[in-house]
A and B are shown apart, each in its own frame.
Chain A
Amino acid sequence: MAAFVVTDTLKAMIGRAEDPVVQKVEEGAIQRYARAIDDPNPLYNDVEYAAQSEWGRLMAPPGFAGWAVKSKGFDMFKLFEKLQKAGAPLGLLDGGVEFEFFGSIGAGDILISVTRIANIEGRETKMGPTMVTTVETISMNARGTVVMIMRNTLLQF
């Protein structure tokens, strides 16, 4: 068995940024997220409680922006398709994630997120020759402050 060989076509995709995604963080989206992970924290679920808190509004759990980018405008699966057209294997698993949080996100915030392929490398894994892709998303608020960086590791085999 050998490591996956990264073609020049795939290498050319490294560093290229996708179109920015601009979105408003909605109360309902935060509540659905909190419910889905079974987190009863009233700061994420109870609008009145959150309004009385020091934050003054419903807040989003850390990591919320990571999925919001995926669901609202940037389609991760379209990126997979692009990679597959460029020669990536068809099998796909999520290998892991790294988050850095620089600020909180709450209802009403405007988020601007940019996603790019930060790296592609070939490895040999238990699935066989595997392409390991690091996808980086940087999200900032309307004031231009970076609030989150997310790096996803995708395994294609």
Chain B
Amino acid sequence: MAKQIHYEDVEVGSEITPLKKIATTKMLVQWAGASGDFNPLHYEDDFAKNLGVGRPIVHGQLKRAWLVHLMTDWIGYKGTLKKLSCRYKGMDYPRKMQNFDDPVDGETWWCKGKVTKKYMEGDECLVECEIWVENGKGDKTTPGSAVAALPSKSK
């Protein structure tokens, strides 16, 4: 975990520390097991092809969980995530595995974001953020937003 961030440390436009992710077929299997989402769209070639997406795609909810990870790492233990939403706008395709641990070379995803508003509500110090998952081409395949409470140095 990074050093604890405080409300006074951020301004509108401040960047959220980017988080690197690599979706692999192994990760999709792990997510299916952990999440209970066994939709064949995420592991069955013909099923995905028939649905018109070409081949198995990364679960939208997995990308959503990456965005939660982006936010919780950034706000630290003393921050509280209040809201998070995202749209699964573009398809993402996992890298295949070349051995038990390593994927083949290929696409890397980045979870990114920036502060769009900071305000007080009661005694809470809140920040609103634009967040997104960006694919290897720089496309925002999973845009979203989040609201978090940050600790204040003055309390």
Contacts and interface: CB of A to CB of B under 8 A. Distances in A.
B39 A99 contact: no
Contacts of A53: 77
B61 interface: yes
A62 to B, nearest CB: 5
A93 interface: yes
A96 B142 CA distance: 9
Given A72-B36, A77-B39, A36 B30 contact: yes
B36 A98 contact: no
Size range of the interface on A?
Answer: 35 or more
A37 B31 CA distance: 7
Interface stretch (B5-13, B64-72, B114-122): B64-72
Interface in B1-42: 1, 21, 27, 30-31, 33-37, 39, 41
Given A71-B36, A96-B86, A43 B77 contact: yes
Contacts of A92: 39, 41, 51
B85 A61 contact: no
A35 interface: yes
A62 B39 contact: no
A92 B50 CA distance: 12
Size range of the interface on B?
Answer: 35 or more
Interface of A is mostly: mixed
A88 B97 CA distance: 37
Nearest to A63: B68
B51 A91 contact: yes
A97 interface: yes
Contact of A99 (B41, B62, B72, B84): B84
B27 A36 contact: yes
A101 B69 contact: no
B21 A61 contact: no
A94 interface: yes
Interface of A: 29, 32-33, 35-39, 41, 43, 53-54, 61-63, 66-67, 70-72, 76-77, 91-101, 127, 153
